Chain A
Amino acid sequence: MGSRCLPCQAVFVPPRALCPRCDSSAMEWQRMDGRGKLVAFTCIAIGTPAMLKQGYGRENPYCTGVVELEENARVVARIQGVDTRNPATISVGMPLQVDFLREDSGSGSRTVLAFKPLPAG
């Protein structure tokens, strides 16, 4: 979910309570369709402590990136289903669809925003 500013129609993910463009507080909820394209990415070999605990590392890097949604908002997310050991196979501009992850956070599970390549056709 994101928020849409009623006066200027700007969309924000994560949602904002105050529009940084027009200073309005008149916001409505905006549901995202979950499709977008990859703007930029990295494959992380030396990860955060939480990711290392999940078994990611030098031999098994994970991909994170910036995704531009069809609704004209950008998010940061985990990118699944790509060959992180061969980053040259991952291309900026590739179409993606949302693919939420459930991860153990230590004190229960949490949802992580993730995307995977959109199947061709």
Chain B
Amino acid sequence: MSPTLLFVLLLLVFLALLLLATRPLGNYIAQVMEGRPNFALKLGGPLEAALYRLCGVDSRRDMPWREYAIALLAFNVLGALIVYALQRLQAYLPLNPQHFAGVSPDSSFNTAVSFVTNTNWQGYAGESTMGYLVQMAGLAVQNFLSAATGIAVAIALVRGFARHNASGIGNFWVDVTRSTLYLLLPLAVVLALALAGAGVIQNLDGYRDATTLEKLTYQNPRTDAAGNPLKDAQGNALTETATTQTQTLPMGPVASQEAIKELGTNGGGFFNANSAHPFENPTPLTNGLELLAMFLISFALTYTFGKLVGDVRQGWVVLASMIILFVPLALLGFEIEQHGNPAITAQGVDAAPSALQAGGNMEGKETRFGIAASTLWTAVCTGTSTGAVNSAHDSLMPLGGFVPLFLMQLGEVAPGGVGTGLYSILMFAILGVFIAGLMIGRTPEYLGKKIESLEMKLASIFILTTPFAVLIGTALGVVTAAGRAGIANPGPHGFSEILYAFTTAANNNGSAFAGLSANTPFYNVATGIAMYVGRFWPIVAALAIAGSLAAKKRVPVTEGTMPTHGPLFIALLIGSILLIGVLTYVPALALGPVVEHFMLGGAAH
């Protein structure tokens, strides 16, 4: 069977399994978020009520959008302060068998913002930095709460469409509690048990030293006191030879963190190698489960959307648009990697797939996954805002690296993070109906709500904030000495590394291109600000739109109303997303992966 056919089959099985779960899970989410009686609310109701009593929350209070937004912001900044404190004080706290010192202030700031914003970008190596208390009480807790925040915003926006003449968009505390208690926690428990059963480790032991059979000699990158890579006069990284016969095996509560890491589209790995590490993702079975977990809730939320606005076709249209955006980019990524590196094949190296080798470009990929499961993962982790990796994105071919970059730059809508994917694509839907309205000369409407000047201003703020943070951040990285100091590969690849860092930060993805020494005060602060702005400014705009829409009356469907449940609207929605993504990022992409692609082609000849 040809590798392409194998990949297509893998993709089809993957999507089919997800589509089977979309309707029942989407229906369930609609029930629990709207408090419609079902078995889960009956079972968890007393606990939920007790939590509200404990926190002094009036669960019946319907919040106007500003109150909802301020509750959300305060809740998240408090979470960031707790994660910051846990890292700084970890040397004095329990559950730190490795006796790790407190994390540096700049890295603590970056990590606190990273996990609160659902980015989970990591400038540090987990196994050599974070004790178990920080991993569990800080990072894993934020994995749940940041995902719950995303779901809350999506549901609040959907209520904006579903309600009319209403002053409120829901209760933030209730939304966060219900999505955590009835959705994320049960799914995470089931997945954690499945992963632990399939070989992912779960313990609180100290690390173990193993003596290897052979002495290992390797090249260690040299760094200065600030952690920046040392370079020669040509700008190439300097290394030194090191030997060892001891391998330290890190331990820890990995399966429990791995489950929510994928389900909540978080992506922060317990270990530095993330899901390429055999203790996080040991087999093709765990790889498959983790892949499904990344898409599961984002797919289901589209059905929830359709259900709550009273027309499930609207949800299927959104989901179809997400899939149509995702599939060609996933295929492109696979084809490029399977094609291999022309500069290497020009030297007579056999890159053809056979029974004995995967062929193509296997640099940076795990042999237990091969090219198909690695490139599918790359597309899935950047199509969502997960950012967990099972291969080294820095080792992708130049256009192979373009795929994850572009998937993020589209605004994380294919299908995007939990909640964020839905509310982001609904912003593009608003833009799409506005463009269509301009073309036919009518006031645009979407789901029975007139889209007027205020909604367009807010949608513009939403859509432009992230590119602003990406492009300004990248420019700062390129023009400042502190930014350039982090580059390990000079030239267009180095530019791609900086572009990727700010793209992943501002889009709250969190995957790393590696190669960039980002655990420095400059990158910790700059990407920290990009993550915060890229997360909360669009959320404020989305909630403002929700408030504005909820207050409007519903306009009746007439012959002049543009239908938004068919193929024409799918084309309009995809067109709007591509238009914004391409116009915004093509110049930057041309300077990075595109130039590198042509340089590689030239080198091969």
Q: Do A and B come from one complex?
A: no
> Which of B's residues lie within 8 Å of A, judged by CB?
none
**Which residues of A pack against B, CB within 8 Å?**
none
